Chain A
Amino acid sequence: MAPELQEMLDSKTRVKLAHNTLMMEQILGESADIVRRDLQCGGTDGVPGVLYFVDGLVDERQLEEGILRPLVGLNDASFLRNVEADDQTVIDRLLIHSSISAVDTYQKAVESLLSGDAVLWLDQYASAFVISVRGGDKRSIEEPQTESILRGPRDGFTEHIRTNTALIRRRIKDPSLRIESIIIGERTRTDVNIAYIADLVKPGLVKEVYKRLQRIEIDAVLESGYIEELIEDAPLSPFPTLLGTERPDRVAAGLLEGRLAVLVDNTPFVLLMPTYFWEFFHASDDYYMRYIAGSFFRLIRYLALFISLTLSSLYVLLVSFHQEMIPTQLALTIAAGRESVPFPVLVEVLVMETAFELMREAGIRMPKPVGQAASIVGSLVIGQAAVQAGIVSPIMVIIIAISGISSFVIPNFSASFSIRLMRIPLIIASGTLGLLGFLIVLFMMSVHLLSLRSFGEPYLAPSVPFRPNDQKDSLFRFPWWSMKTRPQMAQSADRQGNNQRPQKPSHQSAGAEDGTS
């Protein structure tokens, strides 16, 4: 920012209206969307004033009803000229509005104006009056696009941060739910909110998050991805250490487990921290469906993790190094299918993986109707024509398809991408060094995962380090009545009362005829 601009912003406001408006116009320059409305409070002999607002950011009805009408329609403005009148008089008597404040620097006035408030300057008053009439158009609450579930709430976060905090607040009516605000971005001045439940979150975590957020010096924050990259523990790791979600129920559940959420204005993706690796494989309807179904789906997803990470490299390994492992009948089938394939297995796998990624990317980037057509054509070409032409073997198509589908099973797309990315080194190592390469890359990957931490929590907990108490919600989802305590991450352990398991109603006591039960 230019120093002279900064100087202007920092300077104190004065009593002269003309000076103030001049300063405002110098700071803001000519912008089509910034509206200046001159007015007279209380008729011809009233107090002159100027109202600034940004067209499109304010709620016009509120502006008209709540500010312009009382100001212009004022009959007697003499109390404003009273010697004893001060800012509080204006706030108390002139402006009847739910949220109003007086500020005394241009910095604050301009910032409020650009955030969607109306700024009123009155002659002979040194303060600017900031009236919150934020509004304008915003997207209504819709079902999240990225995390579809079968059972559970259908609302998702929007781009509007207040809507988002409201969605959380509506779920947790706990007085100790705190939502604190911080502004990040030199130029964008983006609202970033930190939500947590004061008596559940571990002491120190809030401070640590604040510390990391305040460290950020950046001109713009356009999405929570900016924040994620600037505060995460392992910036070089391919694995995400923060969970981004569009689902308010997920965030609420996280807060209740003692996590902390960071909301960023203008994006529906909210960051949850600390995050365990396994959480990327949990979906929120694990908790809403009956626990047996929920546990089963979880197992399926862990299987999908394994398949998507290793299946193609295991295939390479077996077919080009350890053929004795394949049952004879299958070995013959694979060999027969590869009879006319001109490439080595390693090349074949890499080509097919690339083709698959191309199709996936095309499906996302193209407009929806076209995207579907693209993937149908692509899969037909690869699945049928390429095999018939003898360029790829049919088994390979099956392998790629299964591992591709498995990676779509992983509910969190950023985790799904990292897993997909990690299989490339595995494939290359398996194709060149066989079992040794596979083992070594997998081992190094595990060491890397084990060395990660997310805001002080070991990334692979509760498996490694093993936390017996947290096992009820990791591999399986235990029934709600058995999850008596919160995860170890939370400060307070008690979650529910004793004996929450539904009992068969006892007829003796229900009858209560003799009362000797």
Chain B
Amino acid sequence: MGKDVRVQITSGMFTALIVNLVYPKAIGLTQGIMERQAGGDFWLATIFAILQGGLVLLLTVWVVNRLPNRSLAEQADVVLGKWIGKVIHLSLFVFFVGAFGASAISFVYHLMDYFLPDIPIYVFVLAILVVTVYALFHGLEVISRMAIVGVFSILMLNILLLIGSLKDFDVSQLLPVLQSGFTHTLWVSRQHDTDWAVPVAITGLILPYVSKPKEWRSSALVGAFFGGVTVLMWPMLEAGVLSPQETGQYIVACMQMARSAEIGHFIHRYEMIMVAFFGISLLVQLMLCLFGASLSAAKLIGLKDYRPAIVPVALLVGIAAYLLVLDHNWAIIWLADWWPWLAVPVGFGLPILVGLLSLIRYKKIKQLAASGSVAQNA
């Protein structure tokens, strides 16, 4: 970890990051929320959201690619001026605090409700903070490598679940489709869009650190595709095995799914193994949310390095997460009714906004791109 060594993320790691960022919250809490709003069409809403998310992800890559040395927020700084840039950093900061809270809700409710009901919530939150801060001090590169481990565990989790529940799968449960209407389903897909907002925002931040700008688009596409497929397996199975009504019945639908799986008659309740795998990818998500929050906070104050910001931001985020997690009912209301109004405008809005503005101020971008490359060579 030399000071002067520029962090380099390979395109494989970048793909892994996207998968890890979209997966964990999406399979658990989001599906239950969407079922309650769209009924049996929740798996269709997931597909819609995956398409939207993939599209915005590609847009982000395209926008950043125009000035490959600057993150999305820094481009906004340049294009919109310093003060609006500050506002954008602030909104990103709030967004990441919220994303951290949403992931923390997933983490705590999976582990606490199903495994460790006697451990107080503050222990969970402290544990998350200790791990994420520890990892964050090792730098972005270590987190990105951890994401590869995360993808491995996502694969394992999906395979384990498939083995344990495919025999109960009933295709007819997926039908009928679009009972709640096309527009309504599309509207409900905003819930899963919140999960895609996280990888989009992180991509906007870290893309300049990813090596080989030529491969950005293909790795983002692969990441979105792989993330989409791994996520989509869950609503399909939840609908086909549990039935939509039962999915909607639970706060954490995927755990209900996992604890219904059995391999033969001997191995039931191997959900603990699955949750161990799940936890790894969820912790990667949490680390990156904290990273995003620290980076935006550092930019907001005007620090060069994000590391000094980690501990104060972690404390703040920890308090926010604790307050969110504390009450199950409130957490679910917040996730279903409030969080989309923050996540989607910031996560999806920023790349669209910067993209549009950079089209308008095309000349300045070109100048900057030219001077930027010169500066880099020098």
Contact = CB atoms under 8 A, between A and B. Distances in A.
B267 interface: yes
A439 interface: yes
Contacts of B275: 435
Interface stretch (A117-125, A319-327, A347-355, A483-491): A319-327
Contact of A325 (B10, B12, B270): B270
Interface in A240-277: none
A438 B283 CA distance: 13
A296 B13 CA distance: 29
A366 interface: no
B269 A324 contact: yes
B145 A460 contact: yes
B111 interface: yes
B134 A465 contact: no
B142 A450 contact: yes
A465 B144 CA distance: 9
B116 A436 contact: yes
Contact of A440 (B12, B115, B130, B268): B130
Contact of B12 (A443, A446, A448, A466): A466
A321 B145 contact: no
B269 A458 contact: no
A451 B139 CA distance: 9
B145 A435 contact: no
A327 B142 contact: no
A322 B119 CA distance: 13
A460 B148 CA distance: 12
Interface string A433-453: 111111110111011101100
Interface in B96-153: 111, 115-116, 119, 123-124, 127, 130-131, 134-135, 138-139, 142, 145-146, 148-149
Task: Determine the main DSSP class of B at the interface with A.
Answer: helix
A463 B152 CA distance: 11
A458 B272 contact: no
- The main secondary structure of chain A at its interface with chain B is helix
A464 B147 CA distance: 9
Interface string A292-325: 0000000000000000000000000010011011
A321 B134 contact: no
B266 interface: yes
B1 interface: yes
Contacts of B139: 451
Contacts of B111: 435-436, 439
Contact of B145 (A318, A438, A450): A450
Given A325-B270, A327-B268, A447-B135, A439 B145 contact: no
Contact of B149 (A321, A325, A464): A464
B41 to A, nearest CB: 34
B138 A447 contact: yes
Contacts of A446: 146, 149, 280
Contact of B123 (A318, A325, A433): A433
Nearest to A437: B127
A324 B258 CA distance: 14
A436 B148 contact: no
A37 B147 CA distance: 71
B148 A435 contact: no
A427 to B, nearest CB: 16
B163 interface: no
A327 B138 CA distance: 40
B279 interface: yes
Contacts of B135: 443-444, 447
B358 to A, nearest CB: 32
B276 A436 contact: no
A465 B116 contact: no
Interface in B266-291: 266-272, 275-276, 279-280, 283
Contact of B279 (A433, A439, A451): A439
A446 B124 CA distance: 19
A451 B130 CA distance: 17
Contacts of B146: 446-447, 450, 464
A435 B123 contact: no
A466 B279 contact: no
B318 to A, nearest CB: 15
A466 B145 CA distance: 9
Nearest to A461: B145
B149 A451 contact: no
B134 A433 contact: no
Contacts of B280: 439, 443, 446
B13 A436 contact: no
Quick one: which of A321, A437, A442, A447 has the most chain B CB within 10 A?
A447
A392 to B, nearest CB: 25
B80 to A, nearest CB: 36
Q: Which 10 pairs, one residue from A and one from B, show the smallest C-beta to C-beta distance?
A: A451-B138, A450-B145, A447-B135, A451-B142, A439-B279, A464-B148, A464-B145, A450-B142, A325-B272, A435-B115
Interface of B: 1, 10, 12-13, 111, 115-116, 119, 123-124, 127, 130-131, 134-135, 138-139, 142, 145-146, 148-149, 266-272, 275-276, 279-280, 283
Given A318-B272, A435-B116, A438-B276, 9 more contacts: A321-B115, A325-B270, A433-B116, A435-B276, A436-B116, A443-B279, A450-B142, A450-B145, A466-B148
